[in-house]
Structure 1
Amino acid sequence: MAKTLELQFGTEFGKTARITVDNPKEPIDEAAVKQAMEQIIAADVFFTPSGNLSVAKGARVVDRNVTEYEIV
């Protein structure tokens, strides 16, 4: 079971960009996530094909289960 925290940002050209964090500490502190996202935007260190990150749109924890089968 792999969990990731997905941070969703709006870009300057109206698209959505995502940054994922593996194995987030739970429970998620929503205020801390929002503050971190605002700091990421203010630092202006990420550039995407659809422009710079301009607004925090949302965050979510994605829980993914994978079952592998060995086929011989």
Structure 2
Amino acid sequence: MKKLELKFLNEENKTVTISLDNPIEPVDAVKINHAMDTILAQNCFLSSGGDLVSKKQARIVERNVSEIEL
């Protein structure tokens, strides 16, 4: 499963991550950048360390799970 992680810094300079399942690929960096700007401008998410104040990173994370028979 792939996830799009949007990482922001809050008022305490701590990282806050918003994860979205099954992102559209190929990734459109311009749209992601715009979405992150909108999240900051709307101030629509709360964190324990205060408001989100800046963008830190965006990335695609893929997790593979292999069952081990016992």
Shorter-chain TM-score bucket reads over 0.9
| Structure 2 gap segments, 5+ residues each | none
- Structure 1 Cα separation of the partners of residues 57 and 17 of structure 2: 10
After TM superposition, the runs of 4+ consecutive aligned structure 1 residues lying more than 4 A away are none
Cα root mean square deviation, aligned: 1.0
User: What code does the residue aligned with 1:47 have?
Assistant: L
Q: CA deviation at 1:13?
A: 1.2
Q: Name the SS of the counterpart of 1:36 in structure 2.
A: helix
Q: Which residue of 2 aligns with 1:24?
A: 23
Q: CA deviation at 1:69?
A: 3.6
- Structure 2 Cα separation of the partners of residues 55 and 35 of structure 1: 13
Q: Which residue of 1 aligns with 2:67?
A: 68
Q: Which residue of 1 aligns with 2:58?
A: 59
The TM-score, its normalising length taken from structure 1, stands at 0.90
Task: From the two aligned structures, give the one with the greater strand fraction.
Answer: 1
The TM-score, its normalising length taken from structure 2, stands at 0.93
| Structure 1 gap segments, 5+ residues each | none
- Structure 1 Cα separation of the partners of residues 57 and 47 of structure 2: 17
Q: Name the SS of the counterpart of 1:46 in structure 2.
A: coil
Identity %: 44
